[in-house]
Copies of this chain bind each other. A is one copy, B any other.
Amino acid sequence: MSEQQPPKSPTSRRAFLKAGLTAGGAAAFAPSALAGALGGGDPANQPPNIPEWTRSLGDGVAVRAYGKPSKHEAHVIRRDVEWLTASRESSVSFTPIHELDGIITPNGLGFERHHSGIAEVDPADYRLILHGLVDKPLIFTLDDLKRLPRVNRAHFCECAANSGMEWRGAQLNGCQYTHGMVHCVMYTGVTLKTLLGEAGVKPNAKWLLLEGGDSAAMTRSLPLQKALDDVLIAYRMNGEMLYPEHGYPARAVIPGWEANMWVKWLRRIEVGDQPWHHREETSKYTDLLENGKARRFTFVMDAKSIITSPSPQAPVNHKSGLTVLSGIAWSGRGKIARVDVSLDGGRNWRTARIDGPVWDKALTRFYYEFDWDGRELLLQSRAMDETGYVQPGKAELRKIRGVNSIYHNNGIQTWYLHKNGEIENVEIS
């Protein structure tokens, strides 16, 4: 489903924002604020009627051998942007991160990015070839991969182009579109180190080529050092086999590195002594700087965060009072150490509450509960990782990288909370 319109220029809003917003009216969360905020009262005075669904039998088991969400959640879907690419076979559909919580992305909602559509692989005919600078070239069937020791690891997967439209200013009105090219699932698979150990790597080996089984034959060069560190050849996500759009029956998982390298429908691994300089690491997935030169091999995804609720697609539905701000943070360099939030466009920061597992190179969930006084706010979040890296502001980032880039925009995002509860994607200087 496509709903997003082409971006409008955000410049007209800026002057107003600078002038119109005070330092923010948020107070610390106090449980006592809830009493007034809730609509409840003495149930003796307001007895809920016995609802319709308590008056009759519901569907029995086996009606839904594979379950699905309630019909009332039909709006929680991946969405694409028709004008973004030439065809749907080489396009993106975005994770509805504004409608999710916690850190696990359900398998049916993780963003898709294909270069020639979804390869429909028959698992019986699946083969993974491992050759090049190895002692013994090998071909693995899917059953072969399943006979090797398995590991289970949850990692975020983020497209290098996530937030790419925002380089030149506030563009897309919803975090599904600005930050929805990320998901996080628990993978089961075999380490690439195990496969390489079976084949035996020659002493002069330094790089690997990963090739997909799609008709783009997606190819990326991967340093051997990373391959031996934490790369997986995964065949399961959240317990079940990979979905077709995520590379069924096997894909590469390159923790913390740009998703383009996580080759899907993985068909071939070649071991060599230098990178291959294929299309996706020269013409694409490089960052054109202001001086006309381009950064290359920018594999690592820098620390980043986004407030998923409230956000443009998830407005505030009350006029004031207790409000939960929720978001996700992640870093390609390790664990998230801290997340700060600001309600006044970065003038004052408060430390958010992190809840749920904090894993290496995985989504981390943060919250900030506050008593909203109904005034306008400028909401921001800022991630810090265990290496000490701090998520930069957009202005800071543009000073170094300019605005020609598509990839690797991890700048701080600003949501403008209006008095009526609506949220707008804005830029503040």
Contacts and interface: CB of A to CB of B under 8 A. Distances in A.
B131 A43 contact: yes
Contacts of A404: none
A129 interface: yes
> Number of copies of this chain in the oligomer?
2
A245 interface: yes
Interface string A139-151: 1110110111111
Interface in A320-339: 321-324, 326
Interface centre among A54, A113, A140, A144 (most CB of B within 10 A): A54
Contacts of A68: 66, 108, 243
A34 B43 CA distance: 67
Given A40-B138, A53-B265, A69-B240, 20 more contacts: A37-B144, A53-B214, A54-B213, A56-B215, A57-B117, A58-B214, A61-B91, A63-B118, A65-B77, A65-B78, A66-B78, A67-B108, A67-B110, A70-B120, A70-B241, A72-B122, A76-B241, A102-B188, A104-B238, A150-B324
3 nearest A-B residue pairs (beta carbon)? A60-B88, A58-B117, A152-B356
Contacts of A249: 70, 72
Contacts of A35: 136, 198
The interface residues of chain A, by DSSP majority, are classed as loop
Contacts of A80: 61-62
A380 interface: no
27 contacts: A38-B144, A40-B137, A40-B140, A43-B139, A51-B213, A53-B121, A53-B215, A56-B215, A58-B117, A59-B89, A60-B87, A61-B91, A61-B92, A61-B112, A62-B80, A65-B78, A70-B123, A101-B152, A101-B188, A103-B239, A104-B186, A109-B239, A148-B324, A149-B369, A152-B355, A152-B356, A186-B356
Contact of A89 (B60, B88, B131, B353): B60
Contact of A236 (B102, B140, B143): B102
A107 interface: yes
A9 B78 CA distance: 50
A69 B66 contact: yes
Given A53-B120, A198-B31, A365 B152 contact: yes
Interface in A340-362: 353, 355-357
A2 B62 contact: yes
Given A79-B65, A127-B48, A215-B53, A147 B112 contact: no
Interface size class of A (residues with CB under 8 A): 35 or more
A148 B34 contact: yes
Contact of A239 (B104, B119, B239, B321): B104
Contacts of A87: 60
A286 B142 CA distance: 46
A37 B149 CA distance: 14
A419 to B, nearest CB: 18
Given A57-B215, A139-B48, A105 B67 contact: no
